[in-house]
Chain A
Amino acid sequence: EDKVVQSPLSLVVHEGDTVTLNCSYEVTNFRSLLWYKQEKKAPTFLFMLTSSGIEKKSGRLSSILDKKELFSILNITATQTGDSAVYLCAVQAYSGAGSYQLTFGKGTKLSVIP
């Protein structure tokens, strides 16, 4: 059974801090790893990673994938209160019969306090 494990499950930091969120996975037929940010409603897409060692960056957020060690990290620098959310990691893998599935981790709840 495919597994996606995120750590920590929750994190409280002060504005301006840098945080690192972790996602490890055990899947067969890995295809890609995605990061989402979920506030009150639907998840918002952040990054999709398919190749090892290539950092993706968007403003203060960056992410990298290690396909040998089967993990990814999401970094947020100079955190702001608006970064408070649940960060979901999801892995896309081939599930057989020509289909691919997205398996989500439980998420990391980040709280940024002023």
Chain B
Amino acid sequence: DTEVTQTPKHLVMGMTNKKSLKCEQHMGHRAMYWYKQKAKKPPELMFVYSYEKLSINESVPSRFSPECPNSSLLNLHLHALQPEDSALYLCASSQGEAAHFTSYEQYFGPGTRLTVT
């Protein structure tokens, strides 16, 4: 299994809603990532989890809350979002987080297309 899966594929939510995005991989990868991608722009890193611990938080607003329940699962909890948060949210995983002597390619899931109304 060389796939990263994400659910749901599409999500429309109001500004007062609470929803969650889910990401799963069964490749034994120990690092997982959330990216946000706006139209015609490259992905922007939001969070990195390494061995189920939050490693990087790129100054993301607190209305986005990540959670890594185990090494295969990564969630992104959403609350009180703004219309400008509408974007494609991509999950990725890699064998490990890059270190001084190693570097790992990241494999991306299909993304969740989020629309905030």
Contacts and interface: CB of A to CB of B under 8 A. Distances in A.
B106 A45 contact: yes
Contacts of A36: 108
Interface residues of B, number: 22
Given A42-B108, A100-B98, A50 B103 contact: yes
A34 B90 CA distance: 17
Does more than half of chain A's interface fall in helix, strand or loop, or is it mixed?
strand
A41 B41 CA distance: 13
B60 interface: no
A94 B101 CA distance: 11
Contact of A42 (B42, B98, B109): B109
B95 to A, nearest CB: 11
Contacts of A79: none
Does more than half of chain B's interface fall in helix, strand or loop, or is it mixed?
loop
Interface string A93-106: 01100111110111
Interface in B39-78: 41-45, 48, 55-56
B110 A105 contact: no
Contacts of B111: 41-42
Contacts of A99: 48, 55-56, 97
A31 B110 contact: no
Interface of A: 31-32, 34, 36, 41-45, 48, 50, 88, 90, 92, 94-95, 98-102, 104-107
Given A31-B98, A90-B42, 11 more contacts: A31-B103, A36-B108, A41-B110, A42-B110, A43-B108, A45-B105, A48-B105, A88-B42, A99-B56, A104-B44, A106-B42
Interface of B: 41-45, 48, 55-56, 88, 90, 97-100, 103, 105-111
